[in-house]
Amino acid sequence: MGQERTSFIVNPSAGRGSVAAQWPLIKTIAEDRFKPFSFHLTGGPGEATGLTRGALQNGADLIVCVGGDGTLNEVVNGFFEEDRPIRRGTRLGLIPNGTGCDLIKTIPIPKDVEKAIQVIVEGRVEPLDLGRLTFQDHSGRRTRRYFHNVTSFGLGGEVVERVNRTTKRFGGFASFIWATLVSVLNHQKKRIKMRFDEKQETSVMALNVAVANGQYHGGGMWIAPGASAYDGLLNVTVVGDLSVPQVFWHLPKLYNGRIFEVKEVQAVSCTRIEADSEGKVLLDVDGEQPGELPATIDMVPAAIPLIVPRS
């Protein structure tokens, strides 16, 4: 690795605390493979963003995120300040461990610690696209945030809110499927107005709308089959006015890649989407629930150099 400066951003609480158990092994391997090497442990939500910015401002050439999609989202946001990269060319590595870890179902970075570190040492760089989201936070303020995987609004926001305020101890799939089933029974569909690329407009009664960079979210739901994190496009999946019995009947298609066989489900590709509703519609941003509509989402192509396996 030469004299490249490497900084690990570690969330000990990720993976229901399993990162804390893994960290001594990770640290031992990292001290041998990365020199000079530093690390920062997060103490709560939101800290990874500030720690990443600090590491980059102090000259880090490589940031390694240790955690799940929520931690990775915070780290990704730490690469930017006022919509500008803090240091261009700085690479991002990932040792994934979290409740969902949905990005690695699209980009096959191994969960095994030693294999993940081997990818960071020997892998190749792919410029990862990001979505840039402007929305209303829970205090009513307009806020900007980047996402690496999926932002959804509607049922997805309610599912994530339910998962995050209850329990994740059963793991990603079980936690999200339970929250999905409960949320479906309580969800009130909203009419959502959308405009794609500032020209195509629509107004639909929607169960959920997913704006995807990766293919999976919610602990393994295959919401955007065929999406690529490198093609410069947002892949939008609009799940329309399905009744509760229809949702349960078609639920397997959400996991087996056949979601577009449902006639109430539509796909749109774009580089910008604006969405609003007269009702309260919650957001799911990479597994976190930071606010609600109205929102505008732009594609930021080739935003961060991500280290991925060579094969």
Q: Which CA distances in Å does 111 have to 19, 103, 123, 173?
A: 11, 11, 15, 16
Average pLDDT, whole number, for the chain?
Answer: 91
* Residue 221 CB neighbours (<10 A): 25
Pairwise CA distance, residues 118 & 103, whole Å:
18
Pairwise CA distance, residues 103 & 96, whole Å:
9
Top-confidence residue, 112 or 289: 112
Nearest residue to 37 via CA among 60, 68, 7, 81: 7
pLDDT-derived band at 187 (thresholds 50, 70, 90) equals low
E-state strands within 110-241: 124-137, 142-147, 150-154, 190-196, 200-206, 208-212, 216-217, 221-222, 234-239
Q: Which residues contact 141 (CB under 8 A, 6 or more apart)?
A: none
pLDDT in tens, 3-43: 569 999 999 999 889 999 999 999 999 999 998 999 999 99
Pairwise CA distance, residues 222 & 50, whole Å:
32
User: Residue 98 has what pLDDT?
Assistant: 85
User: Residue 171 has what pLDDT?
Assistant: 55
E-state strands within 46-178: 62-67, 80-81, 84-85, 91-96, 124-137, 142-147, 150-154
pLDDT-derived band at 1 (thresholds 50, 70, 90) equals very low
Cis previous bond, 294, omega within 30: yes
For residues 112-125, give the mean pLDDT.
97
pLDDT in tens, 241-289: 988 899 889 989 988 999 999 999 999 999 999 999 999 899 999 988 8
For residues 84-104, give the mean pLDDT.
92
Top-confidence residue, 223 or 159: 223
- Catalogue all structural domains in the chain, each as residue range(s) with its CATH number: 6-122 (3.40.50.10330), 131-301 (2.60.200.40)
Nearest residue to 250 via CA among 26, 229, 258, 171: 258
For 62, the token pair is 């490589």
For residues 180-204, give the mean pLDDT.
83
